[in-house]
Amino acid sequence: MRVNEAESTSAALESDGFAILSSLVSHAECDKLIEAIAANPVRGPGSRSLLGIEPVLRTGVTIKRHSSIEAILSPHSQLVQCSLFAKETTTNWSVTPHQDLSIPVRERVDSPGWTGWSRKEGVWYVQPPEYVLEQLVAVRLQLDDHSSETGPLEVVPKTHSQGRLSNPDILKSALSGKCSCVVPRGGAVVMRPLLIHSSGRSRSVRPRRVLHFLFGPPLPSNLAWANAF
């Protein structure tokens, strides 16, 4: 079964730019992660620097070794970031269709093709060349139940293969039809960050917490990931 799941995940990621895994970690592991996050509170609806929380880092390393994830990562891929997205009654929002274009690096090194430098939570972010973006894989782990009511991820299938798009082209593509990714607790959406995606506001008082793990390739010798495991 694991072999078939790994093959189907790899095929869906290649064809559509995303795949849904119904069970990636146990409910008990979700509880432990929620407790660890609560013990290290972040401001607002989320944070980009969750790898500093030891249980989150351990889970990310375990996910990297999962057969379905190993099948889609290159042998040299590294765990480079984990972000928290938390929708609750006091922090509820929607996100317009977009692509994820920025990555965290150790320091600013001006290089051709590396643009849009910014500083967030004390870390440098940059938009790398397209060949780097095409190699990224995101795993969005669902920590809570009732994802259909709490503003689930919406994606536009197959748009990951269209490269970096302008805002008008993104909005035009989004009109062609979005797919809602309803994921059970402990499951995940695996996706290419160039895939056009968005999410609506939660319609529930229940919390919606997602850990967004990012895996990426080795960077050119003059640049380094802010963190890599």
- d(CA 190, CA 13) in angstroms, rounded, equals 7
From the centroid of its chain, how far is CA 109?
25
What pLDDT was estimated at residue 187?
Answer: 96
3-34 confidence digits (pLDDT tens) = 588 899 999 999 999 999 999 999 999 999 99
Using CA atoms, how far residue 91 sits from 148, 174, 202, 209, in Å, is 17, 25, 10, 11
In a domain, 96, yes or no: yes
In a domain, 226, yes or no: no
Predicted structure pTM score:
0.93
Q: By the 8 A CB rule, do 33 and 202 touch?
A: no
92-135 confidence digits (pLDDT tens) = 777 899 999 999 999 999 999 999 999 998 999 999 999 999 99
Using CA atoms, how far residue 225 sits from 18, 103, 124, 164, in Å, is 24, 8, 10, 21
| Identity at 153, one-letter amino acid code | L
Confidence of residue 218 (pLDDT cuts 50, 70, 90): very high
Using CA atoms, how far residue 20 sits from 86, 88, 115, 131, 166, in Å, is 20, 23, 32, 24, 27
3-state secondary structure of 164: coil
In a domain, 204, yes or no: yes
Computed over every residue of the chain, the mean pLDDT equals 91
Average pLDDT over residues 59-88: 94
Any idea what the CATH number is for the domain that residue 43 is in? Answer: 2.60.120.620
39-55 confidence digits (pLDDT tens) = 987 655 668 889 999 99
Residues 6+ apart with CB under 8 A from 15: 158
In a domain, 22, yes or no: yes
Task: Identify the DSSP state of 112.
Answer: T
- d(CA 171, CA 149) in angstroms, rounded, equals 24
Number of domains, the chain:
1
What pLDDT was estimated at residue 44?
Answer: 57
| Lowest-confidence pick of 17-21, 69-73, 205-209 | 205-209
User: Per residue, what are the HEC states of 52-87?
Assistant: HCHHHHHHHHHHHHCHHHHCCCCCCCEEEEEEEEEE
What's the domain range around 57? 3-216
Tell me the residue length of the chain: 229
In a domain, 221, yes or no: no
